[in-house]
Amino acid sequence: EAQVTQNPRYLITVTGKKLTVTCSQNMNHEYMSWYRQDPGLGLRQIYYSMNVEVTDKGDVPEGYKVSRKEKRNFPLILESPSPNQTSLYFCASSSWTGGTFGSGTRLTVV
Amino acid sequence: AQKITQTQPGMFVQEKEAVTLDCTYDTSDQSYGLFWYKQPSSGEMIFLIYQGSYDEQNATEGRYSLNFQKARKSANLVISASQLGDSAMYFCAMVFYGNNRLAFGKGNQVVVIP
């Protein structure tokens, strides 16, 4: 089954404690991306990657890092989380026929 | 820069009626794909329908149809015979064939009432 696996689903953490949200796809897609969703703001792109070792900033990259060492994996790293990064996060993998999303990660930073 | 616009406020729809969700886009690209996604209150993003920019016929998937008007740069979603389970946020999206980048509108909230 074609899917994007994103973990964890829920995460509560404290300010400043580094965390990683994992994302893996099994569709051999070149393009992967991370979004955050906040009420009234829709989906905003954080980072994207067009292929292995090729990443670029989206609309709201501050406070986030990504890496793309393998085609299937695209982790999102928060080196020093802050409360304004409390949000719903989605990983997506896409081709020219559409995008498949992970199940989302609800992150709360206290 | 490409831009996708969904401007309708939240909508209330009577069960079994049809509802149309508007989406307009702005791009100079000739090759692209258009999509609609549904996001219920549980949060997951569910793919509904796809239309390629070179497809001459409007896409249809069950109760969903996409009214594609290329010259007007619009890609409206029509949901026929609304059901209570259709209550959700709906997002219009585009993918650009050059790099497969996926871009989204801000979404439309739909509430189906019995």
Contact list, B105 vs chain A (CB under 8 Å): 42
Question: Which long-range CB contacts under 8 A does A57-66 form with residues at least 24 apart?
Answer: A58/A33, A58/A34, A60/A36, A64/A34, A66/A34
CB contact (8 A) between residue B44 and residue A29: no
Q: Which residues of B touch A (CB under 8 A)?
A: 33, 35, 37, 43-45, 47, 50, 91, 93, 95, 97, 99-107
Provide mean pLDDT across the span A64-69.
Answer: 97
A37, A38, A49, A88: which to substitute to probe chain B, counting the most B Cβ within 10 Å? A37
d(CA A54, CA A59): 17
CA neighbor of B35 nearest in space, from B61, B5, B66, B57:
B66
Q: Express each pLDDT in B69-113 by its tens digit.
A: 999 999 999 999 999 999 999 999 988 777 777 788 989 999 999
How many other C-beta atoms are found inside a 10 Å radius of the C-beta of residue B63? 14
Please judge whether B100 and A31 are an interchain contact, meaning their C-beta atoms are less than 8 angstroms apart.
yes
CA distance B107 to B95: 16
- Give A91's contacts (C-beta < 8 A, 6+ positions apart): A4, A6, A21, A23, A32, A33, A34, A35, A74, A76, A101, A102
Name every chain B residue with its beta carbon within 8 A of the beta carbon of A31: 99-102
What mean pLDDT value characterizes chain A?
94
3-state secondary structure of B18: coil
Mutation site, B45, B64, B104, interface A, largest A CB count within 10 A: B45
Give the pLDDT confidence score for residue B2 in this predicted structure. Answer: 66
Comparing alpha-carbon positions, the chain B residue that sits nearest to A100 is B47
The reported pLDDT for the residue numbered B79 is: 97
